[in-house]
Structure 1
Amino acid sequence: MIDSQSISSKAVLINELIRTRRSVFTQQFDPGKPIPDEIIWQILNNANWAPTHKRTEPWRFAVFSGEGRKILAEQQAAIYQEFAGPKFKQGKYEQMKQVPLLCSHIITIGMKRHADIPEMEEIAATAAAVQNMHLTAHAYGLGAYWSTGGITFIEEAKALFNLAPEDKLMGFFYLGYIKVPGTDGQRDPIEEKVHWIK
């Protein structure tokens, strides 16, 4: 049993942040309330401290705010229209033009490939950076959502975010102030997912 008196305030805080973090979707944001850029920089700085094998630091971000959200909306809708082929849906196209405008900031998540490092390690490092972003946003009382929808898996979209063909576009991180709170999260007990050998 853990002695509650011996737990540091940092441990209590990180436990609380991890357990109460939730994805907050764009329709729950307050669309007229921008997040100060200083907070966005703090989110990005914390992402930069994620674990990274051989310190390749593979994460690459592009930040869209203000009028930049409209630029992203138009560009991603145009890419989707041009390259979706038979999977094209008009409703999805219209949604791509509207969703960025509901956010304060949108951060694209890219992974810069290093040939001498296994790809899985670079993907894991970038995902760890996004977890740091999620926890930081939550600590500031912000809503955040990592989406791998839209144009994430359209190869031609990479160039829009200064990614080379061998790199990966890993999605979009949507940020905003929370107008409509979400529900409590649920997880199955960890004991069902652990095989412990002593």
Structure 2
Amino acid sequence: MSSLEVERQRTVADTIKERRSVRLFKSDPVPTPLLLELLNVAVWAPNHENRQPWRFILFKDEGREVFASAMVATYASEEREKYGVPKYNYLMKVPAHLIVIMKEDPRQKQWDEDYAAVCALIQNFQLAAWEQGLGVVWKTNNYNYNPGFRETAGIRPGEKIVGVLHIGYPEVVPRVQPRTSAEQLLTIVDSV
């Protein structure tokens, strides 16, 4: 293995370990060309038979109003009064919201493969974003299943929202959360 390959592996490993889910962002806008660059890296995720089962919807600038209003509209009226305004205000402060969508395949094996591929794409996106100084948090909230939210956001029949990514330059980077070591989780079968 060349020294360049060793350095590249170390850099990938460092990025994986350093990445954090960021929930508090600066107000600085995220340039669309940068988001496209990151998506063009992310689409290199492994996917069976090169099906590339993903699609994206980006809400930024004034478009965040569509996303925030659609999300808050999913609350029951009593929840909307209590949580709606703070949540709306939070979502309007996040510079960009990216919905990552999967085309649903009626065959279970292919559905599972496609879901795994889209999850790998999201991780690729998060790592590439982190290298560019962007923070991301991957959300899978109840509103993803709400028919009104789905329609307003542009989700088509036969599509699953795999995640909503909130994206921006970090205001606060969370501290490291401990991980369970692989040694504690690994079962080795090495004899018959």
Shorter-chain TM-score bucket reads 0.7 to 0.9
Aligned Cα RMSD in Å? 2.4
Cα distance, 1:35 vs structure 2:
1.7
Shift of 1:7: 5.9
**CA distance in structure 2 between the partners assigned to 1:53 and 1:157 by the alignment:** 30
Matched-pair contact (CA < 8 Å) for 1:155–1:165: no
For 2:46, which of 45, 51, 69 is the aligned residue?
51
Moved over 2 A (4+): 75-78, 88-96, 114-118, 155-166
SS in 2 for 1:61: strand
1:59/1:109 contact within 8 Å kept: yes
| In 2, Cα distance between equivalents of 1:23 and 1:140 | 14
Match of 2:135 among 128, 143, 158: 143
8 Å CA contact 1:137–1:144 kept in 2: the answer is yes
TM-score (norm 1): 0.84
Structure 1 residue runs of 5 or longer lacking an equivalent are none
Name the CA distance, whole Å, in 2 between partners of 1:48 and 1:6: 24
Q: Which residue of 2 aligns with 1:126?
A: 118
**Structure 1 match to 2:91:** 100
| Alpha-carbon spacing, 1:136–1:194, altered in 2? closer, same or farther (3 Å) | same
TM-score when normalising by structure 2: 0.87
Instruction: Report the residue type matching 1:20 in the other structure.
Output: E
In structure 2, stretches of 5+ residues that fail to align are none
CA distance in 2, matches of 1:106, 1:34: 12
Identity of aligned residues (%): 26
Counterpart of 1:8 in structure 2 is 6
Q: Residues of 2 paired with 1:142 and 1:6: CA distance?
A: 26
Q: Distance in 2 between matches of 1:55 and 1:173?
A: 23
Query: Which residue of the other structure, out of 68, 74, 77, is the alignment partner of 1:73?
Result: 68
AA aligned to 1:64 is F
2 CA distance for matches of 1:161 and 1:69?
A: 11
1:183 Cα deviation from its structure 2 partner? 0.6
Task: Give the superposition deviation at 1:21.
Answer: 0.9
Structure 1 residue 158 displacement after superposition: 2.5
- Cα displacement (A) at 1:195: 1.1
**What secondary structure sits across from 1:197 in the alignment?**
coil
Deviations 1:18-74 (A, max 9, x none): 11111011xx2112x112222111111122111111222111110111111122212
1:29·1:103 contact (CA, 8 Å) conserved in 2?
Answer: yes
Indicate how the Cα distance of structure 1 residues 171 and 98 shifts in structure 2: closer, same or farther if over 3 A, else same. farther
